[in-house]
Structure 1
């Protein structure tokens, strides 16, 4: 069981890093450029910025490149460059898609949407990786349903802990 947990975290690390690092590097120009959708609400909101998107993606890619370098020494799964990029960028894309739909439903920035808030980035990372590197995704996730289940169980816990930490160091306005 411990091996499955370690493998799941290893495989998700580019996404796990890019998501909170977007908060660290965030601020500045919003991705939606302050525009509203046809319903009169912001497309994404001020919390999704170019600095966060780029900074978070770059941090996830850097971690993935380090993992690629260590892969021959660590028998937890190797990475392709495509997988590293899609896990990192896909995590942030998933978060933006969730924000788009939260705005459509009338949720304000920072409002809770249980489980969706914790798993949006996983869905984005998995979707983009499956589209652009289906072989890597299949070999590393679809070959073991226990890896998928472990990610789906651990991610909300990790998400909550990093958000509490971000709140206490004043990077986030809410601890969720």
Structure 2
């Protein structure tokens, strides 16, 4: 179950960390301050990060598709596909891009309620990108989403993701691509 859940989520798991690694440059909000006196998103959400994160998520999804063309299992677990042709590309794109949109949406909300850049919001910080990926993928390909994200897979993702999020953030902090370890 864990292998299947992580396999399905890889295109969504990778973009946020890759956006941090390859990000920087012009912020998406253009420096705009809202009527509450706070930045719309902040300097941490950049066009370069959005593009690089999405591209890396799509690349891992394409590598997964290539792997599936050679083998349909790993460690004895049969792996689900992302679909065929353009449908698979749409699913991979929506998982990758949706994860960044979920993270960005929660950054907007956190700014509105007074959280500064990097301030932790336990539970939300670990799952906002999952919700964004799931929402966009469901909207773009509901049949694929519902056939793959069963109750047990959803539950597994909701349990495993915070653990993976913690580990990758600590690594990012120690290698210097994150300002805080959460």
Q: TM-score scaled by structure 2? A: 0.92
Question: 1:121 matched to which residue of 2?
Answer: 129
Aligned partner (choices 127, 130, 147) of residue 153 of structure 2: 147
Question: 2:85 matched to which residue of 1?
Answer: none
1:135 offset after TM fit, Å? 1.2
Residue 64 (str. 1) matches residue 61 (str. 2): yes
For structure 1, which runs of at least 5 residues remain unmatched after alignment?
none
Alignment of 1:16-165 (within 5 A): 16-72=13-69, 73-74=71-72, 75-79=78-82, 80-141=88-149, 144-165=150-171
1:19 offset after TM fit, Å? 1.6
Counterparts of 1:71 and 1:9, CA distance in 2? 15
1:167 offset after TM fit, Å? 0.3
Counterparts of 2:94 and 2:161, CA distance in 1? 18
- Give the root-mean-square deviation of aligned CA atoms: 0.8
Q: TM-score scaled by structure 1? A: 0.95
1:40 offset after TM fit, Å? 1.8
Structure 1 segments, 4+ long, off by >3 Å, are none
1:68 offset after TM fit, Å? 1.5
Counterparts of 2:34 and 2:146, CA distance in 1? 36
Using the TM superposition, name which of 120-129 and 130-139 deviates more.
130-139
Counterparts of 2:89 and 2:176, CA distance in 1? 33
Counterparts of 1:19 and 1:7, CA distance in 2? 20
List per-residue Cα deviations over 1:41-82 (Å, max 9, x = no partner).
Answer: 100001001111000000000011111122242231101111
1:38 offset after TM fit, Å? 2.2
- Aligned with 1:71: secondary structure? helix
Number of residues of Structure 1 aligned to a counterpart in Structure 2: 171
